[in-house]
Amino acid sequence: MKMSYCFETEIVAANTCSFFNKKKKYTIKMKKYLLLLVLVLSVSLLKAAPTVPTFTTAGDTTWYFIKFTQGGNYLASRKTNGSVLNTASAGATVDSMKWCVIGTTSSFRLYSKTGYYAAYNSSSDRYVTSTSAYNLKMTTTSQNADSWDISPVSDNTNAMNQWGGTGKGVPIGGWNTNDVNDALKFIKATPELPTFSTSSNPVYYFLQFPRQGTFFTDAGSGNLVTKSGNVYNDNQYKWRLEGGKSSFKLVSATGNYLYINNGWAYTTNTANNATTFSLRESTNADYFLSSWQIYNGSGALNNWSGGSDARIGVWNSDTDPGNCVKFTEVSQMDFPEYRTESSSTYSPEQPLSLWYTTPPNLAVTSVDLWKEYALPLGNGQLGATFFGNVKKERIQFNEKTLWQGSNTSYSGSNDYVNFGDLYIANLDNNAFDDSYSKSSTDYYRVLDLKEATGKVHFASATTGQTYDRQYFVSNPDNVIVLKLSSSGSQNYRLTLVPGQSVTSTYNVSNGTATMAFSGNLKTVSYSAYAKVVSEGATFTNGGTYIDISSPNDIYIFLAGGTNFSNDRASESIYTSGSLTQVTTAVQNRVNTASAKSWTTLYNSHVADFKNFFDRVNFSIDGAVNDEPTNTMIDNYNSYKTGNLPRATMLEQLYFAYGRYLEISSSRGVDLPNNLQGIWNHSNTPPWGSDIHANINVQMNYWPAEPTNLSEMHLPFLNYIIKMANSPEWKSNITDPQVVKSISYTPTRGWTCFTENNIFGGEGGFAHYYCIANAWYVTHLWQHYRYTMDTNFLAEAFPAMLSATQFWIDRLKLASDGTYVCPQEYSPEQGPYEDGVAHAQQLVRELFENTLAADSILGTQSTMNSTDRAALKERLSKLDLGLHTETYSGNWGTGNLAANSTILREWKYSAYTAGSNGHRHPSHLMCLYPFSQVEPGSPLYDAAVNSLRLRGDGATGWSMGWKVNLWARALDGDHARTILGNALSHCNGSTSGVFYNLFDVHSPNYFQIDGNFGSCSGIGEMIMQGATDTIRILPALPTAWASGSMTGMKAAGNFEVNTAWQNNAPTEVTVKSVVGSPLNLKYDNIGNMKIYVNDVKQVKGVGFTTIGDNVIHFNSTTPNSTIKVVFEEDTATLIGDADISGNVDVADVVASVNYILGNVPSVFSTDNANTVADTDIDVADLVMIVEIILGNYDPYASDLPADSGSETDGGVDDNGAGGWAPKMKI
């Protein structure tokens, strides 16, 4: 119904108004209200005030969308009285999200365009639609500087809040003010009308389809209007509107008119042929805030075929997002980048490099450029990402300890937040501008993984001047270092932008410039400091920026830090030092680094990084890195069959990238890397970029031990050890959701829940999931197994024992006589019940590892006899979580036959109690990361069947897990299929990778765990060493026919090198670092040639075999090397007389047997160094022993003659020459 909106007694109603009781009419004089903006000085002066909406008055209605800052969804009304308000996003009816505000900030009414007020229902604790006016108030919130809380006038506790998360469709209830899910802002619902041109005042606009980011482009009279991904300050991109809103013509700055011909947009130089258009507001929920629709008689101009078609057509769907057009006035246009031509000759010096030939700001994409293109650098604690833009470079930086929140509460904001951004704007106007002609050329940017260095190169097409930039984050000096070089003078504007609501200060003094900011969050204080140094430079302090002009290299040193400390986590104290002390420490770091030369800093950085990175190398023969990384990603799936060298290059690059990210994100402070490692550009990142404990943080460390990065594991392990003794984690054992399923009050142990910040604060999600402590402890044990460091084990044991005590007490006896975990669940799906496989497998691992550690530590163990006996008793009766059931045929993708045996996920509920194809294969912990089912056993086959039933589709981290699982299933081709899915470009979807190889999680977020999971999985395809047996090439994909992987680690502290050709091993070398027993497994390995320190061994003497497929060394010598050459050893145990080729124990045995009379006296020719020796006697025996002991070289080119006597200690060769020993018999 069309109506005039009128407001209570304040408004003259021209028509009957539904705001009122329709029995009454009101005619009173309209009042004019003056809106006053009040600056609240009690709040920090640096904090911006939120925008006050325009309050609606008679005849002047202003409609707003009310947007929740957390989650980005909008407040939506319903169409019936008394219905609960909810959140809405794309696809919602636009009118349901439009509200007008009547009154003042301290007392107002919210009225929806659907005809209802917003009201608070105290009985249901929900906000609902109402036909009666209800008074609300808006107050500033501490969560966001530009946001409000809305609550009842008389109530300070029940602010509008998104209940049950921040997604679409959640109800709006009442909650405490200043909660992060309360914060909202008002956004005008009507886009700004463009100015219509007159002959005396032409106003030009850039016309853009926001859905794809493309612009209208005049290709010349008589030609189709095309779409350009990038625009410049040139006439073919500029358009004016001649006429008015209901009737106008579009004219380009070249003088051509737009007209429609057979449904397509063309231009003509004849005004009479121009099409007349009108503007309509967009009703599409994606773009209604900023766009119009340009209509002719039959439809709207449309970004045809979702943007894939270069043409602009006409479409008659009123809600199609392709109809939306955004107008940007030329003077307001922020050209993101200069026109740039790619380098046609560049290829990276280091094959292990990510490289690109187009600046990110020229990308035509609707995806956040940071997620898609920013390249990460880091020293383990201080991180940075660089974009590589020519016009305005952006260096975004983080520090691992800059978190909002505290240890006492997880309500409100508890996010890992952006520290800030350094912008470097190019001011070389002689070389570049926004026109088409003054462009940059020869562009490339690269992330060198081997040297952890970012590089950007370009040149001016106008002047020929070249520009080079280098970036790194030094661990030895704990600073970000930037070097800007050029063949001529350089001119830049530098701006340091804080990530929080504080202001930077700028200073120029003594030939240098500095930029700084500092502030306080709820728990930590923080400070950032940058110093700019350049010989002969001129600096200008602009107050909010620094301008620099220099004929020489420019160096920028940047650091950030906080006063976080968890050294006293046992006392709930998580800071050390004041803001002043933090600021001084950060400045001292920068000043110390800036006093060193670039060469000194860079060489120190590279040496430090390569010490870790170069330990391992993975190479697939023939792989080439000869095209930009984004192109390789786009073409990867076709390359897997058509251009294998590029596909395999991307695969080995992804493995190296995982190790690079591990080194770069996990050093320094005793904290694990989080959901995004240490890289985050947002103050409201997905899931707070938290420490997520039901798979994610664990997966972050899967590559640490096997890919020879044990030191990177330590920040996580030390965090566990410290926090296990903290009041926060100890108190979790009595959490209401933990104790509700048991009949006693826990007094021993610790645990943590799924959502964690760095202060011991935890979110409210799934506190009944308390098995994370057992999972954490497996990492402590794994580090011991891979390093054999008993000092570490002694330090870690109290955390292991305390978690074990928690589960000794918590387990309950089931009716079948087994011990089960009460009321657990299988993340993140299905029923809650006793004996869930996931929890049972974890407790088994916990108990077995703790018992083993107790035995190893002996008198150092802190376990008492009572706990030891209880632990053994519980373990002896423990349900192992390895039950089976029969697959009924429901679900699956045709990969599993009905009636197949599968592993049960729940002890009592069928597999169909969960979700088909769920991303968490939590019941397969037994297969990976543990080794609880042995290949060839029925339980192993059931586990693999369950994996097959899960399907190949998954989100990013889940695919990382599945790569490992299929490797453990000994199916390399399937593992590579999953890896291929993980390496596909996400293209806005829920999985795959961005162009910077960051892993993607649903719906389209960066989440780093998938990077680490796939890295680990690639290692598992080549070598599996988590148990007492090292498996060689257990899951080698067919496509990786020949290659090598060196430097990998196995349990027992072994370093393993593997080489293969034609899909079979050629040589495996194992270094025994500490002298552990060794088992090596591969088909027929027992019949291959085996060497210890290059001395050939004999089966049954130097080593034993378990069947033909496992060789066993009962002990090894520290730092000894065991080598397997995959050539069959044809030597027999007796009588090979093979001294020249294989001097080994077999020759000794043959001699002894001759002496004992067990064999004939004449053997085949000895041929020792071409010297004939046709019999074997005591002298031969002595010499063979001497050779084995290393006293003689059996391969010497010339051997001194003996006397020919049978007893002279030489080989009897009838005087023809032989060995002259030192030792006589």
The confidence score (pLDDT) of residue 1179 equals 52
Q: What Cα–Cα distance (Å) separates residue 382 from each residue in 421, 483, 734?
A: 13, 18, 36
Q: In terms of Cα–Cα distance, which of 624, 639, 619, 653 is closest to 1015?
A: 653
Q: What Cα–Cα distance (Å) separates residue 998 from each residue in 373, 447, 887?
A: 9, 13, 36
Omega of the bond leading into 336 within 30 degrees of 0 (cis): no
The confidence score (pLDDT) of residue 366 equals 65
**Cβ–Cβ < 8 Å for 846, 803:** yes
Kind plus residue range of the DSSP H or E element containing 261: strand 257-261
Residue with tokens 């409210």: 764
Q: What Cα–Cα distance (Å) separates residue 951 from each residue in 92, 470, 549, 962, 978?
A: 33, 44, 59, 10, 10
Residue 632: CB atoms within 10 A of its CB come to 22
DSSP code, position 211: T
Residue with tokens 């590089």: 455
User: Which residues, including other chains, have CB under 8 Å from residue 607's CB and lie 6 or more apart?
Assistant: none
Q: Where are the beta strands (DSSP E) in 462-585?
A: 466-474, 479-486, 490-498, 505-509, 512-520, 525-533, 538-541, 546-550, 554-562, 564-568, 573-575
**Cβ–Cβ < 8 Å for 1039, 640:** yes
Is residue 146 pLDDT above 70, yes or no? yes
Which of the pair, 281 or 324, is modelled with greater confidence? 324
The confidence score (pLDDT) of residue 1193 equals 55
The confidence score (pLDDT) of residue 24 equals 33
Averaged over 685-705, what is the pLDDT?
96
- Positive or negative, the CA dihedral 888, 892, 893, 896 is negative
The confidence score (pLDDT) of residue 435 equals 87
Beta strands at 1088-1092 and 1120-1128: parallel, antiparallel or unpaired: antiparallel
pLDDT in tens, 951-965: 998 899 999 999 999
Cα 793 → chain centroid: 30
- With H, G, I as helix, E, B as strand and everything else as coil, classify residue 1143: coil
**Cβ–Cβ < 8 Å for 846, 804:** yes
User: Which residues, including other chains, have CB under 8 Å from residue 642's CB and lie 6 or more apart?
Assistant: none
pLDDT in tens, 554-611: 999 999 999 999 998 889 999 999 999 999 999 999 999 999 999 999 999 999 999 9
Kind plus residue range of the DSSP H or E element containing 214: strand 214-217
Residue with tokens 């990402």: 385
Q: What Cα–Cα distance (Å) separates residue 680 from each residue in 527, 673, 675, 694?
A: 17, 12, 9, 21
**Cβ–Cβ < 8 Å for 748, 678:** no
Q: In terms of Cα–Cα distance, which of 672, 765, 761, 767 is closest to 720?
A: 672
- Start-to-end CA span in the chain (Å): 119
Averaged over 1145-1173, what is the pLDDT?
46
pLDDT in tens, 1084-1131: 999 999 999 999 888 877 889 998 899 999 999 999 999 999 999 875
- Measure the CA–CA gap between 140 and 148, rounded to whole angstroms: 5
Structural tokens at position 992: 């795959």
The confidence score (pLDDT) of residue 977 equals 95
The amino acid that residue 321 corresponds to is P
- Measure the CA–CA gap between 1143 and 1121, rounded to whole angstroms: 18
Q: Compute φ and ψ for 329, nearest 5 degrees.
A: -65, 140
The confidence score (pLDDT) of residue 189 equals 80
DSSP code, position 171: B
Is residue 1138 pLDDT above 60, yes or no? no
189-198, 514-523, 1187-1196, 1199-1208: segment of lowest average pLDDT? 1199-1208
Residue with tokens 């990177």: 712
Q: In terms of Cα–Cα distance, which of 577, 545, 253 is closest to 401?
A: 577
Q: What is the CA radius of gyration of the chain?
A: 36
Averaged over 85-92, what is the pLDDT?
73
- Measure the CA–CA gap between 84 and 512, rounded to whole angstroms: 60
Model confidence at 812, pLDDT cuts 50, 70, 90, reads: very high
Structural tokens at position 702: 């899967």
Q: In terms of Cα–Cα distance, which of 486, 537, 531, 477 is closest to 511?
A: 537
The amino acid that residue 202 corresponds to is P
CA atoms within 13 A on the CB side of 258: 32
Is residue 515 pLDDT above 50, yes or no? yes
Q: In terms of Cα–Cα distance, which of 558, 616, 242, 578 is closest to 383?
A: 558
- Measure the CA–CA gap between 373 and 907, rounded to whole angstroms: 46
User: Which residues, including other chains, have CB under 8 Å from residue 357's CB and lie 6 or more apart?
Assistant: 342, 343, 346, 443, 444, 628
pLDDT in tens, 435-481: 888 899 999 999 999 999 999 999 999 999 999 999 999 999 999 99
Is residue 1206 pLDDT above 50, yes or no? no
Q: In terms of Cα–Cα distance, which of 268, 273, 241 is closest to 254?
A: 268
pLDDT in tens, 697-743: 999 999 999 999 999 999 999 999 999 999 999 999 999 999 998 99
DSSP code, position 7: -
Alpha helices in 222-285 (DSSP H): none
Averaged over 134-138, what is the pLDDT?
95
Alpha helices in 352-444 (DSSP H): 369-373
Structural tokens at position 649: 């290059």
Averaged over 611-635, what is the pLDDT?
97
Q: Compute φ and ψ for 791, nearest 5 degrees.
A: -65, -45
Kind plus residue range of the DSSP H or E element containing 325: strand 324-329
Residue with tokens 């599968």: 902
Structural tokens at position 1213: 């060769």
The confidence score (pLDDT) of residue 569 equals 87
Domains of the chain: 51-188 (2.80.10.50), 205-332 (2.80.10.50), 340-357+368-403+412-572+597-614 (2.70.98.50), 673-681+693-880 (1.50.10.10), 1043-1128 (2.60.40.1180), 1132-1225 (no CATH)
- Measure the CA–CA gap between 607 and 603, rounded to whole angstroms: 6
Between CA 35 and CA 41, with CA 38 as vertex, the angle to 5 degrees is 175
Average pLDDT over the chain reads 87
The confidence score (pLDDT) of residue 1197 equals 40
- Measure the CA–CA gap between 719 and 700, rounded to whole angstroms: 14
Is residue 11 pLDDT above 70, yes or no? no
The confidence score (pLDDT) of residue 1181 equals 57
**Cβ–Cβ < 8 Å for 140, 51:** no
Q: Is the pTM for the entire model greater than 0.85?
A: no
Averaged over 680-693, what is the pLDDT?
93
Alpha helices in 683-810 (DSSP H): 696-700, 710-723, 727-731, 736-739, 772-787, 790-810
Residue 1097: CB atoms within 10 A of its CB come to 19
The confidence score (pLDDT) of residue 1131 equals 58
Q: In terms of Cα–Cα distance, which of 366, 384, 241, 363 is closest to 301?
A: 241
- Measure the CA–CA gap between 21 and 8, rounded to whole angstroms: 10
Is 866 buried (19+), middle (13-18) or exposed (0-12) by CB count in 10 A? Answer: exposed
Residue with tokens 């011909």: 261
